[in-house]
Amino acid sequence: MLKKNCAHKVLMRLIVLAVLVAAPAHLYAAGAVDFLDDASYEGAEHFESIYDPLEPFNRVMFTFNDRLYLWVIDPVATGYSKVVPTDFRTIISNFFYNLGEPVRSVNCLLQGRLADSGLVLSRFLINSTAGVFGLADPAGNEFKIKRVYASLGQTFSVWGIGDGVYLVVPILGPSTLRDLTGSVGDGFARGLYTPWSDDFSTTSAIYGSQTINEVSLRLGQYQDMKAISLDPYVAFRNGYFQLRQKSPRTGHVGEFPALTPPDINYQQ
């Protein structure tokens, strides 16, 4: 019985660890969707068919995440931004993004995107060496190799696996059953080569700090998005699926779930 309980605890810690590793705020990049542009609403009829049978539960979780963001994450990120210069915060963001490149490269391969896989691997090698462990982005700035996004959730989609239900995950935010499963898988994969993955407390602190860092680079966007939304829950749900309609190379919703809002930018 003791061994069974220990095994159960280890499994639960691994699942939480995978989610934490999957938590970097890559859902939240600038220039993704312009919600003040009429073109953003083309194909909006698609949203009427979103499978959201858990909407009552999802709305409760949306409210929980909203309060957590406004009352905890945003104030901490605001204070952090006043202490740490923007350039240094950008360096931190680059470092963590670079850590995810091997997983993206593998997912590109699994999706049959061989050229993209090579580009991602090239970015990783260049930035890990010339960019000093990914602190800088010479691959993008000097060699003009743009970021390529790929996730296990996207891989499942290519393999014909459907979304399942729409979910608002406590702390992590908008997702679907397929994307959440994929994100946990991506998190496990990253944990295989990150040096701190063996220590739960260290991992929690590192990825919690990463989330704060990412939010600090985009302060105010979430509040402004809510201000122009008649129903923020529907607006963020639609925004999530809007990004899913983008091409696999640029639509990176669900690459890693995040404590921050979805990848929505309504201003250019």
Using alpha carbons, select from 145, 175, 141, 168 the residue that is nearest to residue 257: 175
Task: Give counts: helices (H), strands (E), the chain.
Answer: 12, 2
Phi and psi at 123, nearest 5°, equal -60, -45
Q: Tell me what the mean pLDDT of segment 140-169 comes to.
A: 94
* More confident site: 77 or 27: 77
pTM: predicted TM-score of the whole model, two decimal places: 0.77
Q: Where are the alpha helices (DSSP H) in 84-176?
A: 86-99, 101-110, 114-129, 138-141, 152-158
Instruction: Say which residue, 245 or 50, is predicted with more confidence.
Output: 50
Do 116 and 150 form a contact (C-beta atoms < 8 A)? yes
Mean pLDDT for the chain overall: 80
| Residue 248 confidence (pLDDT) | 53
**What is the Cα–Cα distance from 267 to 232, expressed in whole angstroms?**
17
87: pLDDT strictly greater than 70: yes
CA-CA distance, 146 to 76, in Å (whole number)?
31
SS3 content of the chain, % helix, strand, coil (to 5): 60, 5, 35
**Alpha carbon of residue 89 to chain centroid:** 17
Query: At 30, which amino acid appears?
Result: A
């679907």: which residue's tokens? 176
- Which tokens in the block code for residue 61? 């979780």
Q: What stretches of 165-261 show up as alpha helix (H) in DSSP?
A: 177-191, 200-216, 221-227, 232-244
Which phi and psi angles does 72 have, rounded to 5°? Answer: -125, -60
Lowest-pLDDT range of 160-164, 176-180, 248-252: 248-252
* Alpha-carbon gap, residue 65 to 183, rounded angstroms: 18
Task: Give the N- to C-terminal CA distance of the chain in Å, as an integer.
Answer: 58
Q: Looking at residue 1, what is its pLDDT?
A: 52
Residues facing 167 on adjacent strands: 175
pLDDT digits (tens, 9 = 90+) for 20-46: 444 434 344 333 444 444 444 454 444
- Flag whether pLDDT at 181 surpasses 70: yes
Please give the Cα distance from 22 to 24 (Å, whole number). 6
- Residue 110, pLDDT score: 97
